[in-house]
Amino acid sequence: SSLLCSEGLASGRSDAELVAAMAADGCADVSRDDMLQCTFELLQHLRAVRASVRSRTIPADLVAPSTIFVRHCMKVIFLLATLAYAVSALRSTQTRKEAAAAAVDFYNDFRRWMGTHVNEPIRGIAREFSHDYPPVIELEQVQATRQSLVRALTEFAAAVHKESEPAAREAAMAAAAAGSMNDVTSVFEDGVRAPISNMMRGELLRAMLLQVQQLKLLMEEQVAAIDRILARNDLSLQLMAIVPAAALAVALSYVVRRLWCLLRASPRGPIDDLRSELITIEGMLTRAAGRLPAGSHTLTQYEASPMDVAEAGDVVFRVQRLRSKGAHWLRGWLRNDVLHGLHELLDSGRLDATQRAQIASALLRRLGNVNALFHHW
């Protein structure tokens, strides 16, 4: 069948002429139906091979071995030298003791840091969503202190104004019930002039105790106000406390991701590898876009592949390798777009080489606008 197709394309003869020519060459026992059946079977096998190439990756025995130690030889040498120096330094007893003490100190500092910036903020955030903020002082205690002070002020005003007129006494009692310290201040100012005698016989000591009670009330009210502020901003404070730990986690993740990329890809990075492979594929398709095979006038524009078998196979396997790398490294919409475009590169039944070269160029521009930090792991 391949001989029939090649001679037919080259000479432009009909099937009957080809059969007659083959019969003259000693193939008279081969009928037209047999050749058609053989051609049909070969096309089925070709379809199976094409489907296998599209759906499967390159066999493991055909993949080139990793050159990780060749690409990172200087890093490996540096790590080995550092390890050798550490082993030689740890031979000394004093050095081992210092290293053990430093390790213990580092462990204790790390535990303290984790407890301050990770454990406590996380527990605070969980408590914020499940429980109320625990106040330092209860409002009932503040109310009890205020009522106690009001009762003491009322009794003090009654004792100070026991000989005053009823109107003045009622006004003083009302002011004391409102928490006014005017009478206490007046008695304190008068008693300071003769502190010893007023301490023994007057109301100076009582006025001082009332001032202490008022100071206690003011402190409790300030603590209650701070409790209200903390209750409103507790979540914000816990989130601010966890920022250093989050920044450290992001930095460590970036370092691990970078090391993983260096170990699994070339030193240029996976995105650059994809671009390099696409540039090669685009060049092959672009070079093939201007050529036409022999006998192409008898075929349609989609059947006339301008590439020979070896070059077409190279393109197929390069695209398959590119699909495997893209599926491994890319994520999100970019991954879907690239894999869809690579699938179209293999669809030679509907697209010619020029159109596929344009698709490769579009994919190359798409990868040119990629931020590697956000689009691959």
Tokens of 291: 């050529």
| Tokens describing residue 262 | 């260096």
Q: With 50 as the cut, is the pLDDT of residue 293 above it?
A: no
Return d(Cα 365, Cα 279) in angstroms, integer.
10
Rounded distance between C-alpha atoms, residue 215 and residue 146, angstroms: 11
Average pLDDT over residues 216-245: 86
Q: Residue 323 above 80 pLDDT?
A: yes
- For 267-292, give the DSSP string: TT-HHHHHHHHHHHHHHHHHHHTT--
Measured CA to CA, the distance from residue 344 to residue 171 in angstroms comes to 96
Which residue in 227, 343, 317, 262 sits closest to 76, CA to CA?
Answer: 262
Give the ranges where 115-203 is alpha helix by DSSP (H).
120-130, 139-160, 166-177, 182-192, 195-201
- Closest Cα to residue 345, out of 326, 369, 332, 329? 326
Contact 154, 176 (CB under 8 A): yes
Residue 57, SS3 per DSSP: coil
Q: Which residue has the higher pLDDT, 315 or 303?
A: 315
Q: Is residue 137 within 8 Å of residue 247, measured between CB atoms?
A: no
What tens digit of pLDDT does each residue of 34-67 get? 888 888 888 887 777 777 666 665 555 555 555 5
Q: What are phi and psi of 150, to 5 degrees?
A: -65, -40
67/135 Cα distance (integer angstroms) = 62
Assign 11 a pLDDT band (cuts: 50, 70, 90): very low
Q: Count other C-beta atoms under 10 Å from residue 114's C-beta.
A: 12
Q: Does residue 53 contact residue 320 with C-beta atoms inside 8 Å? A: yes
**What gap in Å lies between CA 326 and CA 336, rounded to an integer?**
9
Tens digit of each residue's pLDDT (9 = 90 or more) over 249-283: 899 998 888 777 666 656 666 777 788 888 888 88
Question: Which residues, 6 or more positions from 250, have their beta carbon under 8 angstroms from its beta carbon?
Answer: none
Distance set, CA 332 to CA 10, 187, 336, 339 (Å)? 49, 80, 7, 11
In this model, does residue 360 exceed pLDDT 70? yes
Rounded CA gap, 153 and 214, in Å? Answer: 10
* CA-closest candidate to residue 346, choices 271, 304, 285, 288: 285
Q: Could you give the CA distance from residue 113 to residue 249 in angstroms, rounded to a whole number?
A: 14
What separation in angstroms does the CA of 75 have from each of 177, 261, 262? Answer: 82, 15, 11
Which residue in this structure is represented by tokens 């493991």?
A: 60
The amino acid at 27: C
At 5, is the pLDDT very low, low, confident or very high (cuts 50, 70, 90)? very low
| Cα separation, 339 vs 344, whole angstroms | 9
Averaged pLDDT for residues 241-255: 87
